[in-house]
A and B are shown apart, each in its own frame.
Chain A
Amino acid sequence: MSYKKNAILALLSLTAALSGSVQALDGSLLGMDYNISGFIRAEMAVKTVDEENPYNQRGNLFNGVAVERRGALPQTNLPLLPQPTINDTAVRNGIPADNDFNFTQVRMENTIQLRFNSNWSSTIKLRGIFDAAAYEEFDPEDVNSEAVGYLYGEPNYFEYDDFETGGVQNRLEWAGEDYMIDIPTAYIDYQDGPLLIRAGNQQIAWGQALFFRVMDVANGLDLRRHLILDFASEEYADERISSPAIRASYQIGVWELDTFVQMFQPTIYPNPNTPYNVIASQFTIRDTYDSVDEELNSGFRLKGSIGDVGLQFMYTNRINPDGVFRWTKSNVNRDAELVPGSGSTLAETPLEVDTTGVWSADEWFTYAAMARLDGIEGLNTLIREFPESQTLLAEEVDSMEEARRELDFFFQASGSGFRGHIAREYFREDIFGTGFSYVFQGEPGSWTDQLILNFEVTYTPDRVFTNTNLSREYIVEDEIISALVLEKYQRFSRSFPATYFVFQWMHRTESDLFGRHLSGMGGDINNTPDGVDGWDGLVLALQQPFPGLVWRADFSMLYDTRGGLLVQPALKWKPSGDWNIEMFYTYLDGSLGDNPNENIIETIEWAEEFGMRVAYQF
């Protein structure tokens, strides 16, 4: 506990110390106008629930829990031999954590703006983040883990690239275990009449919908820092990954043609055993980014209006930055405890013997459902696509009962558990989109007075999804994603400024908001998923400034119609020009529907928290 206190004090002290020693600069040098400014910000989030992140080793739902295992070999393999059931009790040796904090970081950002002349300008932003790591961290020695892979030992908060050596994929980033420094913005603008060219590292965001990414498809997301649980009003400002690109736009009257070509940069998921990790840490991920790191994305958008109706059309050819996952060979030669010499065979399968793996069929099916996977077909695929597993007497199964027996048997044989190795691959896709907008002009003061309506829709033929059985035969289907957005100011009081309302409805035909295929929805410890048809989410967001805008109250709500609710009330306080304080409480409930594994909130329910950010700008 003293370490945590010291870490938080260190964060605040660092913020205070730097706040007094940095200052903005602006002026002119050799005919070039320059401006340097920035901020330093302490950011923290305090847990408000007892739940630990179940995807981490120290939050595993089975740590310390006695689980009855009833293992047996498949009967079809050895039909003439008796098939005794081996009963035992497994108690996963993970040490439960009791964290007070989800998030303890300090960041410093510095923006340099240069204006060379009327046509040429440049912006460079430097960002540095340090994680005080005031968390009860995973220590592999505590559980005798020998898991391979740079990220599967002690937590690393920022590196993620190479399986053996860590590092980063972003071309303008440097990172270590608890820090990262990057240049999210480094571009040059050239403007000549209606032509604007922006070349360099940049974010590209399209569309009127907020948080629901319909046309906002150019960039992946960097989820390492605060997942999607930041101050909701900032949307994905800190998450959207910048990428080296050339963007050109040309304005003709009310129409603007916006085009880009950019280097592909994938979404970055939080690392295993870090606070916001959302991929079960019994998996070991082998990223294949190296095979696509020279690929380019491109697209255009035409936006304008005819009369009072705004119109937009877009097309993007990209590699889906989220990637998809499948079983892959572990290449780990480590014997199962009860099967000497099995290591070389296991190396040819996705399995790795380790205490940080899965210990029981109960754990297998629980986590399969949480990951929106099919536990039975996942097992069968592993056996079918990695035939070496059959030399260890593994065989495909037809029922939950058979699967449980076989799984428990192999977990018993392992002596600890099995980790599952999966590959992350990337596929190209075409996205076609259109949208329209209309501003209603109702009676002054009415709900239709200056009500802005936007509708956006995209169609992606042959989109590739992770198969719920983790097969290399991915799910390939056409997907339609649409969003209806209504927004307006409404004044309720003469003494308070108007309230800003945003209502949104998103519908997706094949995947949920996190991109998981809907056929994986609805499983649990005893059942494989039945799947669902269509994903729908509703957003209601309000912003209520106080007189003078020194205070602002925000309210954001995301409702997954299958029983998930995120509610974030927030307060933003700007006591002076230099200081800015934001406080937000994120309430999460994924249990409002029939099966929590049918909605997205269940996946992050453990992250309910109170967040606070204190910033000093210069």
Chain B
Amino acid sequence: MRIRKYDHNFSRRAFLEKTALGVAGAGLLSPLWSSIARGADMSKVYPDELTSIEMYTKGKIKAGDIITANNVEHVKELLDPVAYHQVKTMGRRIHIVEPVKDVSSLYPAEFLEATLRNKGKAVLGKDNNVYTADGKPWVGGVPFPEPKNGIEAAYNLTLSWGRHDYSQYAVRDWDIDPDGDLSYQYDFVWCELNTTARTNGDIWKGKDDLLRYQSVFFTAPNDSAGTSFLSIWDYDQSKFPDLHGYIPAFRRVRQFPTNQRFEPLVPGITLFLSDAWAAGDPLLTWGNYKIIGRQPMLGVIGPRNFHGGYHDNWEKPVHGGPKDQTFFDTYMEMVPECLVVEAEPVGYPRSPVGKKRIWIDVRNQMYVAYNTYDRRGEIWKSFEPHYALQSNDKMTRKDGAHPAWSWSSVHSHDLQSNRMSRFVQAKSVVGGYQSHYDGTKEDVYNKYLTVQAMQRLGG
């Protein structure tokens, strides 16, 4: 048992004060970002009760324990409501691990360097888009490491989704029905290429009017293979992306409307375009962004959540639910301080979503939990991300000179229909496409991010 330096309610009071006063800086004992810049660990920034679950729960839960229905009450306020429900009623089990001490393991190295290099350079323009002081598109990294409001916090998620200039995710998805049976399984590839907000500050091929090219193409099963969509995002976050799609039945690429973002991509999956990175829509098509609180959380953020070395294709063991296959095994740890941000879909008058609530880890400004609510105010979905530095006791996967960092899996749970889509970032999927973050490895733009590419990938 460690000796507590501050009483149990110290952090709760401090977070309430910061939220009420609109204090932007993260950290309770010392400023977070000064510590990150010095490479200091979190013990100097937060009291023990926020870095140790053992301290937080007064010894009832400790690293190495498994959260089950029998002990989840001790961490109820550290979980989003859906995760709590999953453990309490659906047989989900959560492994508890020691928290990461080095904040750099929560970032791709180059993205953290850009964040530190460009700290303080971002401003919100009159049009509410993010610019540098001289009116140029954002130059890389987290634009607002210490967000003063909800919109700044949301921009931290939006401008560089995957925190690499190029990300290619080979995704294997399993869709579990309310009876716990596997009803659908899909393989698809998701590509993101930023033209602005790049880590080295350059503009990709002069495309300063764009934010990114993004595509998704399905490779299995047979009736979905070839279905491909290309979104071209304007830098101006009030504009909808151009959407071009290849539907196998039409044998050609056609342009599609892009304002409907709350529908499944394919039958049975609960993933919506709007869900991507808790910021799947152009930021200014949502509104009423606000920070409603700060709190510690449990998050799936540590390297044990990378299954390279444990499975040839980085797939994860499953458990829970009626057929013992509804949830991935996940390893959670204390996240000392999260912003709780809410926003409403003001640009979608008939959206089934009434609001979204996002819990954002202030250390890397990445979300660790995300719930959407229906128009009645009832929780609808949880989109729970699992991240990892790709370096565990079995293997290390490099991204340049450093271990790679990315998401490793997601639980997308439609609570109201009780359908679970769980998907992993696999090593590769049907078709031989592999996950990687190197935009120079091949001609990714022409191969995966053009209308011509959609035609080729579609067949």
Contact = CB atoms under 8 A, between A and B. Distances in A.
Do A and B make up one complex?
yes
Taking each of B270, B351, B352, which has the highest tally of chain A beta carbons within 10 Å of its own beta carbon?
B352
A494 B186 CA distance: 27
A115 B219 CA distance: 12
A416 B195 CA distance: 77
Interface in A563-618: 574, 576-578, 580, 615, 617-618
B450 A491 contact: no
B250 A193 contact: no
B452 A487 contact: no
A451 B221 CA distance: 31
A450 interface: yes
A196 B452 contact: yes
Taking each of B220, B254, B419, B456, which has the highest tally of chain A beta carbons within 10 Å of its own beta carbon?
B254
Taking each of A37, A203, A236, A441, which has the highest tally of chain B beta carbons within 10 Å of its own beta carbon?
A37
B223 A237 contact: no
B250 A494 contact: no
Interface stretch (B21-29, B93-101, B342-350): B342-350
Contacts of A28: 432
B220 A35 contact: yes
Contacts, number: 167
B222 interface: yes
B428 to A, nearest CB: 8
A331 interface: no
B222 A208 contact: no
Interface stretch (A75-83, A372-380, A384-392, A542-550): A542-550
A187 to B, nearest CB: 9
Interface in B173-189: 175, 182-186
B71 interface: no
Interface in B413-459: 414, 417, 419, 430-432, 442-443, 446-447, 450-452, 455-456, 459
Contacts of B450: 194, 251, 256
Nearest to A442: B259
Secondary structure at chain B's binding surface: helix, strand, loop or mixed?
A: loop
A251 B446 contact: yes
A33 interface: yes
A24 B459 contact: no
B249 A237 contact: yes
B227 to A, nearest CB: 12
Contacts of B267: 548-550, 574
B432 A444 contact: no
A576 B456 contact: no
B348 A617 contact: no
Contact of B352 (A37, A39, A118, A494): A494
Contacts of A237: 248-251
A577 B446 contact: no
Interface string A101-142: 000000001010101001000010000000000000000000
A399 interface: no
Contacts of A491: 260, 350-351
Contacts of A206: 252
Contacts of A207: 252
A208 B255 CA distance: 8
B263 interface: yes
Contact of B451 (A208, A256, A548): A256
Contacts of A494: 350-352, 374-375
Interface residues of A, number: 71
A460 B430 CA distance: 44
B249 A113 contact: no
Given A37-B225, A576-B183, A205 B252 contact: yes
B89 interface: no
A249 interface: yes
A38 B183 contact: no
Nearest to B175: A577
B350 A580 contact: no
A111 B430 CA distance: 13
Interface string A468-496: 00000000000000000001110111110
B349 A445 contact: yes
B456 A497 contact: no
A172 B375 CA distance: 56
Interface in A408-446: 437, 439, 441, 444-445
A191 B447 contact: yes
B431 A33 contact: yes
Interface in A514-540: none
Contact of A497 (B242, B252, B258, B260): B260
Contacts of A576: 183-184
A452 interface: yes
B250 A210 contact: yes
A205 to B, nearest CB: 4
B254 A208 contact: yes
A489 B351 CA distance: 12
Nearest to A110: B222
Nearest to A206: B252
Contacts of B37: none
A444 B417 contact: no
Contacts of B16: none
Contacts of B455: 196, 249
Nearest to A109: B222
A498 B273 CA distance: 14
B268 A549 contact: yes
A445 B240 contact: no
B127 to A, nearest CB: 15
A450 B257 contact: yes
Contact of B349 (A35, A310, A444, A548): A444
A173 interface: no
Interface string A191-220: 111101010000101111010000000000
A194 B450 CA distance: 9
Interface string A35-50: 1011100000000000
Contacts of B431: 26, 33, 35, 113, 115
B264 interface: yes
A287 interface: no
A234 interface: yes
Contacts of A38: 222
Given A111-B225, A310-B255, A547-B417, A193 B443 contact: yes
Contacts of A111: 222, 225
Contacts of B263: 497-498, 545, 549
Contacts of A458: none
A492 B348 CA distance: 12
B442 A118 contact: yes
B108 to A, nearest CB: 24
A615 B225 CA distance: 15
A503 to B, nearest CB: 13
A310 B183 CA distance: 40
Contacts of B446: 191, 193-194, 251
Interface in A140-195: 185, 189, 191-194
B266 interface: yes
Nearest to B265: A549
A236 to B, nearest CB: 8
Nearest to A247: B455
Interface of A: 24, 26, 28, 33, 35, 37-39, 109, 111, 113, 115, 118, 123, 185, 189, 191-194, 196, 198, 203, 205-208, 210, 233-237, 240, 249, 251, 256, 303, 310, 437, 439, 441, 444-445, 449-452, 487-489, 491-495, 497-498, 545, 547-550, 574, 576-578, 580, 615, 617-618
Given A118-B442, A444-B347, A449-B259, 20 more contacts: A26-B220, A28-B432, A35-B431, A37-B430, A39-B222, A189-B456, A196-B455, A205-B251, A207-B252, A256-B450, A444-B346, A444-B348, A452-B257, A491-B351, A494-B352, A498-B263, A548-B267, A549-B267, A577-B183, A578-B221
23 contacts: A24-B220, A35-B220, A115-B432, A118-B442, A198-B456, A236-B251, A237-B248, A237-B249, A256-B451, A256-B452, A303-B451, A444-B346, A445-B350, A452-B255, A452-B257, A491-B260, A545-B264, A549-B263, A550-B268, A577-B185, A577-B186, A615-B223, A618-B222
